[in-house]
Every structure is written in C-alpha cells, then in structure tokens.
C-alpha cells in the first residue's frame, strides 16, 4: 500500500484535521506514507508535516497556487499520484479538500468514499467506516479500483506528532492545465476570530434559542474562552441572525466531533444531533428536563443557563488562575 495524504494549510498554519488523517495513515502499518503540500511558501512547513508520520513530503510551490482554488491542486495531486504510483489518497474534509477530492476522482477515474470516520486494514484489504442512518450505524465501505480516494469527517483522528526524522522532500514541477487557470480569486475576506475554529476545536460550546437573545451569546463565548474552545450554534439562532452561519452545527451546517461539547439552551432536534452526536462527551444545560438533548447527553444539568453559565465560567477562570 502506498498512501498519499493531502495536507491543507492556511497561511503558515497546518490544518489539524489533515494532520490527524496523516497520523492515522502512519498507523495503518503498510508501506510508507507521503504527504503533499500545495501553495506559495509551503516548503517551510515540510519538516513539521514529517513529524506527523510522513516519510516523504511533496512540495508544490508556486505563486499561482497561493489562492486556495481546487483545480490547480487537482493538477498537482494527479501528477504526484501518477508519477509516484500511489494507490491510496486521503483527505480531511474541508470546503477546499472536498472539491479537490471530487475533482481528483473525476480526473483519475477513481472511486471516492466520503464522510468516513475511520479506516482499517481487514483481511488484507482497506475498509472505510462510514456512518449511516443518521449516524446510528457504521457501514463498511471499500473500493473496486485504484487509486482509492477517501475523505474523512472533521475530528475523526487526533493529530499526534512524533519525533519525525528529516523528511525526504521532493519538489513537484507545477504544470497547470489551461482550464485550471480559468478561475481567479478576486477578493478574500478573513473573518476576525480568536481561539480555534469549530472544525479544529477540542471543546465546543454551542448556543441555542435558550440563550434568549443575540447579546447573550457572550455567555457561550466566555465559557468557550475559559475552556479554550470554539463557539457553535443551532440553525434556529443562525436563521434568526444571532450568530454567523459558519458556526452552525447540524444537518445543514457542520459536523463536528470534539472531545467535549457543551450545549446551552439547545433542544436537541435530530437535525442538530446528527452534527454533533459523535462528540466524546456531551454536556447539556437546559431548563426543560424533558428536552430531547438529555437523551443523548453524558451529563445533563436541568436549570436556567443564565444562572448556571456565569458561575461555571467564573469557577473555571478561578481554577485557571489558581
């Protein structure tokens, strides 16, 4: 088995999800694992990538690759897969990675299994694990041809850095197809935020309609800050304009699986549940003892969040200060 992992970066920061996929690939135990970095000024990140289990890091560096566009990355990956003879290509889900994986599948006439949460070697074959029926079962999925492409759900694997030797770095000559030069990024807006993104966070504090008003999201933000986490939201509050869509969790938002998910004033509708139920530990604070969220929480607190959350945040800050 020869595996290639697409490692995504934003600026100088490697995306934790793709490092998690790389760490996982390194534990599959068959053959060397290579990573590919694509962008402008990415060579400096190669050594760091190696610590997550890549024996070889392909570096495609070119100013034309600076805008985060998928087609140019499909060109680079198709070349690396063909020249290097890789039979398996793995991606961590993101808006960009999903586009690249789909484009690469079309370019190489390859099968892509998406929304996987795990992959194992079983009887000498690679088997992907894909949640189905609103995440109530895991289905085994495979590939009938090579290369095998897979896209993993955010938070599926921990990114574990090891010692990592000096990686073998291979520069990739960048030759873009004519059609890959067609799209241009004319403007990029960066959302100002502090702390981790909800895709990367180990802790998410999510707020629902029970917060009562948009300004009360500060309760979720302060608790998230105290826990070193990110803030999520339900569709009800996003639709009401209380919080940005980027933080929506659920069927029509993001799927997350942090170590800790704290739900504040969230009823636990099925459309929200499917986006967060694979979190390690779910803590819910809700004033209604019959709220559905308590049916799938590890810890439930029945009470008024406006009384409980400020005290919880103060306690956490006090402990941190001590």
Ligand X SMILES: Cc1cc2nc3c(=O)[nH]c(=O)nc-3n(C[C@H](O)[C@H](O)[C@H](O)COP(=O)(O)OP(=O)(O)OC[C@H]3O[C@@H](n4cnc5c(N)ncnc54)[C@H](O)[C@@H]3O)c2cc1C
User: Which tokens go with 122?
Assistant: 């079983």
154: nearest Cα among 30, 29, 278: 278
The residue (of 33 and 205) whose beta carbon lies closer to ligand X is 205
User: Which tokens go with 182?
Assistant: 């067609």
User: What three-state secondary structure class fits 52?
Assistant: coil
**Binds ligand X (CB under 6 A): choice among 55, 138, 269, 316:** 269
Does position 312 bind ligand X by CB under 6 A? no
Does position 253 bind ligand X by CB under 6 A? yes
Q: How many residues bind ligand X (CB under 6 A)?
A: 28
Does position 301 bind ligand X by CB under 6 A? no
Write down the number of H helices and E strands in the chain. Answer: 8, 17
Site string for ligand X, 32-51 (x = CB under 6 A): --------------------
User: Which tokens go with 61?
Assistant: 């560096």
**Binds ligand X (CB under 6 A): choice among 111, 176, 287, 296:** 287
CB of 138 to ligand X, least distance (A): 21
CA-CA distance, 110 to 104, in Å (whole number)? 8
CA-CA distance, 149 to 143, in Å (whole number)? 8
**Binds ligand X (CB under 6 A): choice among 245, 304, 315, 320:** 304
Q: Find the angle CA(151)-CA(230)-CA(257) to the nearest 5 degrees.
A: 35
The residue (of 33 and 293) whose beta carbon lies closer to ligand X is 293
CA 60, distance to chain mean position in Å, is 22
Does position 286 bind ligand X by CB under 6 A? yes
Does position 237 bind ligand X by CB under 6 A? yes
CB 287 within 8 A of CB 258: no
Binding-site ranges for ligand X (CB under 6 A): 208-210, 234-237, 248-253, 265-267, 269, 271-272, 275, 285-288, 291, 304-306
């Amino acid at each position: 088995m020869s595996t290639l992992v697409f490692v995504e970066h934003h600026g100088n920061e490697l995306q934790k999800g793709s490092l998690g996929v790389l760490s996982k690939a390194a534990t599959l135990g068959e053959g060397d694992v290579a990573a590919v970095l694509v962008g402008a000024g990415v060579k400096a990140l190669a050594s760091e990538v190696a610590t997550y289990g890549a024996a070889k890091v392909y570096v495609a560096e070119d100013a034309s690759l600076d805008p985060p566009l998928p087609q140019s990355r499909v060109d680079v990956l198709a070349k690396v897969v063909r020249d290097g003879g890789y039979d398996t290509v793995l991606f961590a889900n993101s808006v960009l990675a999903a586009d690249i994986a789909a484009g690469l599948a079309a370019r190489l006439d390859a099968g892509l299994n998406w929304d996987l949460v795990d992959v194992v070697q079983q009887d000498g074959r690679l088997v992907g694990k894909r949640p189905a029926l609103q995440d109530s079962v895991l289905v085994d999925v495979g590939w009938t041809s090579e290369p095998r492409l897979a896209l993993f759900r955010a938070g599926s694997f921990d990114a574990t850095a090891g010692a990592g030797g000096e990686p073998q770095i291979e520069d990739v000559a960048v030759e873009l197809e004519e059609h890959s030069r067609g799209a241009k990024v004319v403007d990029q807006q960066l959302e100002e935020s502090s702390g981790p993104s909800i895709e990367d966070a180990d802790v998410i504090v999510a707020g629902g309609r029970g917060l009562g008003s948009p300004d009360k999201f500060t309760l979720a933000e302060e608790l998230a800050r105290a826990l070193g986490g990110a803030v999520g939201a339900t569709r009800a509050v996003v639709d009401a304009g209380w919080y940005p869509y980027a933080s929506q969790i659920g069927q029509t938002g993001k799927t997350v699986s942090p170590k800790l998910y704290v739900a504040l004033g969230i009823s636990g509708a099925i459309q929200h549940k499917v986006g967060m139920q694979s979190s390690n530990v779910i803590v819910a604070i809700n004033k209604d003892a019959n709220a559905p969220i308590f049916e799938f929480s590890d810890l439930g607190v029945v009470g008024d969040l406006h009384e409980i959350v400020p005290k919880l945040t103060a306690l956490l800050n006090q402990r941190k200060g001590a």
